[in-house]
Amino acid sequence: MTITAIDPAQRRIVTVLSIVQVVGGLGNGAGLAVGALLVKDVSGSSGWAGMAVVMLTLGAAAFTMPLSSIAARTGRRPALTLGWLLGGSGACVIVLGAQIESLPVLLVGLLLFGASTAANLQSRFAAVDRAAPSQVGFALSLVVWSTTIGAVIGPNLTGPGAAFADVFELPDLAGPMLFSAAGFAIAGLLTFLLLRPDPLVHAVGTAPAARGIRAALPHVRGRVLTAVYAIASSHAVMVSVMALTPVHMKDHGSSLNVIGLTISLHIAGMFALSPVMGMLSDRWGADRTILLGQSVLLLAVFVAGTSGESEVQITAGLTLLGIGWSASVIAGAAKLTRSLDPADRPVVQGFSDLVMNLAGAAGGLVAGIVVALSGFGTLNAAAAVLTLPVIALVLSGRRVAASVT
């Protein structure tokens, strides 16, 4: 299966979304690497560091349903454009907060920054609005994979970002956020100019009426419920461990460059193998791919949680964490999409992203508290427990399906 097998309009949509993801991924990667460190520096407490990811994920959650409603009324193009531009404005507010050393301003900026994550996530669903059922996993994963380039480069901009910040007499950690602002602005502009035909409007014929959470809830049962839960739980595991890794490493004497490399390899794990995960989902089955992802997540938290001061081991653990997230979230999104009628997809997909981001916010919030009270190893042990209900739910669904057939 290749992108050339897709019809010309779908091929153009996937190509544009992929290009945008490269640019937007750079902005997200740069911000993720320094967000927790900025909050720690401004607040003076490691306990507050987890609030960076909490605010990022709360921001993504807050903007998910509004952007989904805009997409339902007017199409994907205006919704995604707005999401990227709001993320860019958030990066600018973060720079301001770092400059004036204001924690409230910093947290507001991180909240706005989260809109870029909402746009990033909804881009993968835009890629499958008009995809053939047999190509859902692959088309979705191509857009996710495209994030790799920018997202891997982004965290490595911590060093150059610090030098760039010195030119403007800004705090060193604020420098990468300037790159984030530029990346999101370009992503929004490219989306507005090039995402034609609009994938959602073109797929449905006319833009469906806007609907809210209440319209989504009746569909969240059976296969859809399993998909939503698997996505949300996997995201909570990933966010909770990833959020405190830079703080854990810095407390053990790691340099910003090493921390940036670790986060880069983590993000590479999240996105680089996504086409493989998409093809596995299409050909091997979404349930099996989700179970594979949960197994890798269990291995990841064991490796990371027992790493101590070993930079090599913590990097390996974070890379595995990204791979497990990739398998679980891509297969979950493909399962969700295949289980819904096209007209119902936007609102349920938006609900799934909302739950996913709220789970991530909860994970980041609890992570900071757990690390402050009991350490990084305990955090990883708690994250391992979250995989067990997903495994049970998927296996239960497979047993029910087998009994019916």
Which pLDDT band, with edges at 50, 70 and 90, does 241 fall under?
very high
Mean pLDDT confidence for 273-280:
93
Residue 157 has pLDDT above 90, yes or no: no
Please tell me the CATH superfamily of domain 7-204+211-404, with its number.
Answer: MFS general substrate transporter like domains (1.20.1250.20)
pLDDT, position 202? 60
The structure tokens listed for 187 are 């992503």
pLDDT, position 304? 95
pLDDT, position 403? 56
The structure tokens listed for 205 are 């014929």
Question: Is the pTM for the entire model greater than 0.75?
Answer: yes
Q: Where are the domains of the chain?
A: 7-204+211-404
Pick the more confident residue, 254 or 6.
254
Which pLDDT band, with edges at 50, 70 and 90, does 402 fall under?
low
State which amino acid sits at residue 134. S
Give one DSSP letter per residue of 159-209, joined into a string.
Answer: HHHHHHHHHTT--GGGHHHHHHHHHHHHHHHHHHHH--S-HHHHHHSSPPP
Residue 10 has pLDDT above 50, yes or no: yes
pLDDT, position 25? 85
pLDDT, position 207? 46
pLDDT, position 213? 76
Pick the more confident residue, 137 or 16.
16
Pick the more confident residue, 343 or 97.
97
pLDDT, position 395? 93
Least confident range from 24-28, 82-86, 396-400: namely: 396-400
pLDDT, position 80? 96
The structure tokens listed for 403 are 């009994």
pLDDT, one tens digit per residue, over 70-84 is 887 888 999 999 999
pLDDT, position 70? 87
**13-22: b or e for each residue (b if 16 or more CB lie within 10 Å)?**
bbbbbbebbb
Q: Which of 37-51, 125-139, 202-216 has the highest mean pLDDT?
A: 125-139
pLDDT, one tens digit per residue, over 291-303 is 999 999 999 999 9
Least confident range from 37-46, 80-89, 218-227, 386-395: namely: 37-46
Mean pLDDT confidence for 101-126:
92
Residue 4 has pLDDT above 70, yes or no: no
Q: Which residues contact 165 (CB under 8 A, 6 or more apart)?
A: 171, 172, 173, 174, 175, 178
Pick the more confident residue, 50 or 74.
74
pLDDT, position 318? 96
Give the number of other Cβ atoms within 10 Å of residue 102's Cβ: 14
pLDDT, position 130? 83
Pick the more confident residue, 206 or 217.
217
pLDDT, position 188? 97
pLDDT, position 108? 95
pLDDT, position 385? 96
Percent of the chain as helix, strand, coil, to the nearest 5: 85, 0, 15
Q: Is the CB of residue 216 less than 8 Å from the CB of residue 353?
A: no
Q: State the chain's mean pLDDT as an integer.
A: 87
Mean pLDDT confidence for 328-356:
89
Residue 330 has pLDDT above 80, yes or no: yes
Mean pLDDT confidence for 128-150:
84
pLDDT, position 42? 87
pLDDT, one tens digit per residue, over 208-222 is 454 667 778 888 888
Mean pLDDT confidence for 27-34:
79
Distance between start and end Cα atoms, the chain: 29
The closest of 62, 96, 257, 102 to 181, measured between CA atoms, is 96
pLDDT, position 174? 87
Mean pLDDT confidence for 158-170:
82
Mean pLDDT confidence for 81-88:
97
